[in-house]
Chains A and B, each alone.
Chain A
Amino acid sequence: MEPVQTSKLNSKVKHESEVKMKKGTGTKALQYALLIIVAIFMAFPIIWIFSNSLKTLNGISEYPPKLIPAHPQWENYVEVLKNSNTLTYLRNSLILIVGNTVGTLISSAVVAYPLARMRFKGAGVIFAIILATMMVPTVTTIIPQFLLFRQFGWLDTFLPLIIPSFFAYPYNVFLFRQFFKTIPRSIDESAMIDGCNRWQIFTKILVPISKPIFITVGVLSAIYWWNELFTPLVFINSENLKPLTIGALSSFKVQGATNLTAWNLQMAMAMIMAIPPMILYLFANKFLVAGMKTSGLKD
Chain B
Amino acid sequence: MKNKRRFYSIFAVILLLVLTTALAGCGNTNRSSGSSKDGKVTLTFSMWDTLDPNKTDFIQEFQKKYPNIKIKLINIPNDYSQKIHSMLIGGTAPDVILSWEADVNGFAKNGAIDPLDSYIKKTEAFNMNDFIPAVSELNKSLESTGGKVYGLPWCYATEFLYYNKDMFDKAGVPYPNENWTWKDYEAAAKKLTIRNGSETTQWGTDAISFPGIWYSMAGSAGDDIVRNGKLDLKDGLKKALEFQNQLTNVDKVSPQPSSGGQVADLFAAGKAAMTRQGSWYTLGYAKNDFNWDMAPLPKDERQYASLHTGFFTINSASKHKAEAWKFIEFMMSKQGQTLLSKQYHNPSAEKSVMAEGAYKSTGEHGPSNWDTFDKTADAGRFGYVLLNPTVTDDLVNDFNSVLLGQKKIDDVINKDVPAAQKKLNEDK
Residues of A within 8 A of B (CB): 57-58, 60-63, 83-84, 92, 95, 98-99, 102, 106, 150, 153-159, 162, 203-204, 208, 237-241, 249-261, 263
Contact = CB atoms under 8 A, between A and B. Distances in A.
Interface in B79-138: 83, 86-87, 89-92
A253 B50 contact: yes
Contact of A99 (B8, B18, B86, B284): B18
Given A249-B78, A256-B281, A98 B18 contact: yes
B266 A159 contact: no
Contacts of B280: 256-257
B52 A84 contact: yes
A102 B268 CA distance: 48
Interface in B184-226: 199, 201, 209-210
Contacts of B19: 99
- Chain B, interface size category, equals 35 or more
Nearest to A98: B18
Given A154-B26, A237-B87, A238-B29, A256 B284 contact: yes
A259 B261 contact: yes
A106 B14 CA distance: 12
Contacts of A102: 14-15, 18
Nearest to B19: A99
B404 interface: no
A157 B49 contact: no
A175 B22 CA distance: 27
B331 to A, nearest CB: 18
Contacts of A106: 15
B299 interface: no
Contacts of A58: 268-270
A95 B22 contact: yes
B26 A157 contact: yes
12 contacts: A61-B266, A98-B18, A99-B18, A99-B22, A106-B15, A153-B31, A155-B92, A159-B23, A162-B18, A250-B77, A256-B344, A263-B264
B167 to A, nearest CB: 15
Contact of B22 (A162, A237, A258): A162
B283 A255 contact: yes
Contact of B86 (A84, A157, A237, A249): A237
Nearest to B289: A58
Contact of A239 (B21, B75, B210, B263): B75
A63 B203 CA distance: 13
Interface in B21-68: 21-23, 25-26, 28-31, 48-52
B410 interface: no
B74 interface: yes
A157 B210 contact: no
B262 interface: yes
B345 to A, nearest CB: 7
B330 to A, nearest CB: 22
Nearest to B83: A237
A264 to B, nearest CB: 11
Contact of A251 (B28, B50, B263): B50
B373 to A, nearest CB: 16
B281 A257 contact: yes
B77 A258 contact: yes
B4 interface: yes
A106 B8 CA distance: 12
Given A239-B75, A255-B51, A255-B284, A95 B262 contact: no
B419 interface: no
Given A99-B18, A158-B26, A238-B92, A256 B49 contact: yes
Contacts of B90: 150, 155-156, 237
Contacts of A92: 25
B234 to A, nearest CB: 28
Contacts of B210: 259
B371 interface: no
B269 A253 contact: no
Contact of A208 (B4, B75, B266): B4
Give the 10 A-B residue pairs with the shortest CB-CB distance, closest first.
Answer: A61-B269, A256-B283, A61-B264, A157-B26, A155-B90, A158-B25, A250-B77, A156-B92, A58-B269, A158-B22
